[in-house]
Structure 1
């Protein structure tokens, strides 16, 4: 094992055989943190975005926070219930993409797929950026370096996920459950102190006034009020992201897959709604105040001074207030929140590669995305997602407020299209189903999906209208570009399939002759080996060809060739302009034009080197010739490798017997 392989095994782990696929299946206790960490972690930033948006109206806006929270919770419960129907109806793991494709057609499926792929990238970017933002409460030195630190964290998550779904899920389970305990415990203890013990808890910003800078919003009347509440609601709907991931990940569950996935969905919905509403209610009771740092609002402190910098996040302020006399609990909540926000990206790291694999199987994405890596994970999809998300956080400097405007659009596009597909699914099956019990079940499922379609459709319209000018248009453009790219990839694969299809017996006609040509640059062991291989191939003819760019060197080569008595005549091509490749290519083209039914097999000796920098010093001419010949019909190129000492020293541990026999063969032959 060389150094690179050893490093890979250290980072990724030992290889798993395909027969070990069953070892990677997840029990519910691991599946919950793997697939639900995104939706659960949204508790850490969805309340912030609601309060931040409401701050545009000043102090009057905060009174609507708990009402918006209730509406978001209702929508989440409806969506979770709807997806439980999807999990039972389509357990193969295609999720929204499969539902839309089967019931509404390929274009609908691609619309869902493009929306989900963009949303998965944004999930990673937003989750990690929010984790960095929350970490600033305990680690102030992070401020000003958010983008690069977020990119590094994404790369760490990528390495963890390359180790496989089950192993990464086991790693992520403890922090996820710690976050749940921390938030639920903080909320319960805070509300207990307020309502049972009668204590007055005050957040660090409770005595600060918030002033909105837009007179239309501060009036809180008419259309401006509706627009502000709609925008706050759409930001709060970030809490619904990740719900669809379980429907895409059903194959990763243990048997019975559908039942376990549906149970996990139910647990997700109950826990997420409890945490979200508890956090918003507690924030309202203790007086948490957040502002829009981009000029929409600002603080006025009790001494009358203005402050335009954002205070700590809602979770940070709540932990400070509730656990003011017990700092270990404060740090527990902050650290658990920071970690879960980083790990929330794991939902996307599980959903994106699976979706990419399915799309690659259907020829809408490069086939490499359909291949599993050493740990039976879709490694190429994991790397692609990490690179896209890292680029995004660097471009937006890990700003949650900026990224959140692009967020949610994609997931509600997929929600709405998927619910439409499920409605058509049940309607189609009801036409042929005669069993009364099954018909009753299908009718109930259709009602659930109809309600889900209505709600998600309304939310999608609200999100598009309220966020379009604030950045949502960028997400829509990205979806359109991904959609177009997938159509082009499919068109390319279809063209290649059609072009390479065997259409008649003429495709099976044998060539009239095979003519072997050995490219000769100098007389040495690699050249002689290539010549011996060409002779052993039993072709109709064997030619050795060199290009004369230096008269003296060419004359010496001819003399050495004749002295070696190799049994093959050396043909010399003139090159008045000292070009090496063009005369040789023209010679091969001439052989092809003499008889189009002939096949020309060109043997090119090449050095195998042990270091990357040696590659720069060798094989450049061979690479140019090989590349140009590949575009010529009826020409095959055979690379004849010759292993130099540096390559033998580096790779001899792989197969020492093979290298020894190679050396003995050289000594016996030459």
Structure 2
């Protein structure tokens, strides 16, 4: 139960991941319709008189090459459990790809292992905080990059601006702590905004988060590559290929599952924490020994006037240090019990560490008079200044590069979950509900990797080109989530609701300030892309939902109930009980051979009306084929179609469609003789009649296209 006295799973949907999410249970109303339809079914006893035992030993096992393999294990009457043996491919190519898949991803996990994939706090902290903590490698520098446009004298404003950013961090961090408290089963911005502000606000938050996560991967990997090229300038020409390789590594690691990815990617974050905190401590000790004397920055000419607009731009750029602060709220379900309590603890640690590192770095940048340059990051300059000799500079750069490269792992954790929740609400394709072999949301992971790779290549792998796009999306989600929390507290008015609403309101106001500032001041620098992308994404999400609503309207059992109650209107409704089905089987025949005769025998055995169709390029060939048909015995009626222009599929499909149009009560089943070859290249040597017919007739209702396979022997 949530702190509002209501179950958040009822308010915003369950945040629990389930392998059965693709197969939701029917509603009580649907079950009632099923019961009524089932009562009308009439079938012969032969339908249930099976010629084979579905659980016979011969079905459940396979014997070959001297081995006895168990394919299925019986659970109870009518239920079998598939074993890993039956999942193996039976072709050389399939086995090779399966072996490569197992090598890269590991053996598949059972559905019951999903609970064991949850993370403890010590593992969740580095996995979920990598994006937030690593953002200090470029957030403060982004702020100083804007200030230095007004000349080196404007760099002194970095301290008061940093103080304002600390207030923002505390407000947003505290707000998200309350969000996790109020929504203990999942507190992502999409869920909260949808529940409190409505579906459109939820989609706005989702659009911002989708852009944020894609940019997180691109910016983090790009910044990590910049850290490496700062230390090793010779690698600069290979910036983009190296970044793409890192994205591939992150994708592979996350496809192996949450827990495995956490174990692999946790160490670099802890390494970065130790290295940067050590850098700050040593730097402050040395500054204290010098009496905290401020070194004058190198003189830099002003290219813009110092004004409120410039200060707001610097504030918005520095706010990118907070990207990733929402990661815990989106990932509450991956914590071990008690999930919400552990999530709040990790969030508190994250915000505290962020403030310490952010303030420490900004102070040291100011004390040492460091200025952003094109060929070296500020963190690299500070490390080289603090550790002019010894291995410490290299260690700090290595730690920074690693955590920046792997900070994208936060997005790989969160975006697939966001798409999962949206797919559950039918705003994105439902394939995002699918759990892969390792219980990872594989489709979401692949989409994120591809989108980030495209973006990184488009911007040439340059961090500063991407940062202007960053703040708009993430702070849109912050603003909507915190505004929604104000509505939540006012709606439930439990004890202490005014204090909680004030905290969330403060977070919403400050987030809105950053959002508007970034959208306005960085519009021409690239933020216009996000400003336009958010409404376009919302429109796309709604189009997807409209499609699924249409599918539900057409296929849902409620439509059956209306047809059953009110009777058919307009076109003949699809039959829903066997006695309503009227069959006509059609067999396209090009020549009389074994494949054709097997197909005709199969159709004849069904005891339903059948018609053979032959398309001929000229009358002579048509007469010759009819003579062959008479020699066979004319057991099935034959209709020949002359095609003077030698077109096969279109006249055939047109005739089938015309038959259906003349008798809409018939279900036409086109059974195509199909030759199955051994090697893929051999398919090019045969007509793919079934596939071509299926594509042509797929828009016509009441027509089934299938095939009768004939396998070529070696």
* Equivalent in 321, 326, 331 of residue 249 of structure 1: 331
Contact 1:91 1:247 in 2 (8 A): no
The structure-2 alpha-carbon separation of the partners of 1:529 and 1:267, relative to structure 1 and needing over 3 Å to count, comes to farther
CA distance in 2, matches of 1:74, 1:637: 65
Is 1:37 paired with 2:140?
A: no
Aligned residue for 1:174, secondary structure, equals helix
Is 1:318 paired with 2:400?
A: no
Shift of 1:610: 4.8
The structure-2 alpha-carbon separation of the partners of 1:593 and 1:150, relative to structure 1 and needing over 3 Å to count, comes to same
Shift of 1:93: 2.4
Shift of 1:583: 2.1
What whole-Å deviation, never above 9, does each CA across 1:461-519 have from its counterpart, x for those lacking one? 22223222222111111111101100111111112211333222255464463111112
Matched with 2:511 is: 456
Moved more, 613-622 or 360-369: 613-622
The structure-2 alpha-carbon separation of the partners of 1:386 and 1:607, relative to structure 1 and needing over 3 Å to count, comes to farther
Matched with 1:446 is: 501
Contact 1:201 1:322 in 2 (8 A): no
Contact 2:660 2:668 in 1 (8 A): yes
Contact 1:94 1:358 in 2 (8 A): no
CA distance in 1, matches of 2:612, 2:596: 10
The structure-2 alpha-carbon separation of the partners of 1:401 and 1:641, relative to structure 1 and needing over 3 Å to count, comes to same
CA distance in 2, matches of 1:537, 1:94: 57
CA distance in 2, matches of 1:361, 1:258: 22
Aligned residue for 2:708, secondary structure, equals strand
Shift of 1:549: 2.4
CA distance in 1, matches of 2:682, 2:379: 56
What whole-Å deviation, never above 9, does each CA across 1:251-295 have from its counterpart, x for those lacking one? 01100000000001001001111111111111222221114xxxx
What whole-Å deviation, never above 9, does each CA across 1:374-421 have from its counterpart, x for those lacking one? 111111111111111111111111111111011111111111111111
CA distance in 2, matches of 1:641, 1:609: 10
CA distance in 2, matches of 1:320, 1:162: 37
CA distance in 2, matches of 1:606, 1:462: 64
Q: How does 1:569-608 map to 2 (within 5 A)?
A: 569-608=637-676
CA distance in 2, matches of 1:609, 1:288: 70
Q: What is the Cα-based RMSD across aligned positions, in Å? A: 2.2
Contact 1:511 1:599 in 2 (8 A): no
CA distance in 1, matches of 2:234, 2:598: 63
Q: How many residues align?
A: 607
Is 1:194 paired with 2:276?
A: no
Shift of 1:98: 1.4
CA distance in 2, matches of 1:3, 1:559: 49
CA distance in 2, matches of 1:572, 1:184: 84
Matched with 1:271 is: 353
Matched with 1:342 is: 405
The structure-2 alpha-carbon separation of the partners of 1:512 and 1:445, relative to structure 1 and needing over 3 Å to count, comes to closer
Matched with 1:300 is: none
Is 1:100 paired with 2:190?
A: no
Q: How does 1:10-25 map to 2 (within 5 A)?
A: 10-25=103-118
Shift of 1:66: 2.4
Is 1:378 paired with 2:453?
A: no
Shift of 1:250: 0.5
The structure-2 alpha-carbon separation of the partners of 1:591 and 1:414, relative to structure 1 and needing over 3 Å to count, comes to same
Shift of 1:76: 0.9
Matched with 1:297 is: none
* Equivalent in 44, 61, 66 of residue 154 of structure 2: 61
* Equivalent in 285, 300, 310 of residue 210 of structure 1: 300
Q: How does 1:613-632 map to 2 (within 5 A)?
A: 613-632=681-700
* Equivalent in 563, 571, 576 of residue 504 of structure 1: 563
Contact 1:607 1:644 in 2 (8 A): yes
TM-score, normalisation: structure 2: 0.81
Moved more, 189-198 or 351-360: 189-198
Aligned residue for 2:301, secondary structure, equals strand
CA distance in 2, matches of 1:573, 1:324: 88
Aligned residue for 1:640, secondary structure, equals strand
The structure-2 alpha-carbon separation of the partners of 1:632 and 1:172, relative to structure 1 and needing over 3 Å to count, comes to same
Aligned residue for 2:300, secondary structure, equals strand
TM-score, normalisation: structure 1: 0.86
Aligned residue for 1:365, secondary structure, equals coil
Gaps of 5+ in 2: 1-87, 89-94
Is 1:91 paired with 2:184?
A: yes
CA distance in 2, matches of 1:512, 1:413: 54
CA distance in 1, matches of 2:158, 2:195: 40
Aligned residue for 1:546, secondary structure, equals strand
Is 1:3 paired with 2:76?
A: no
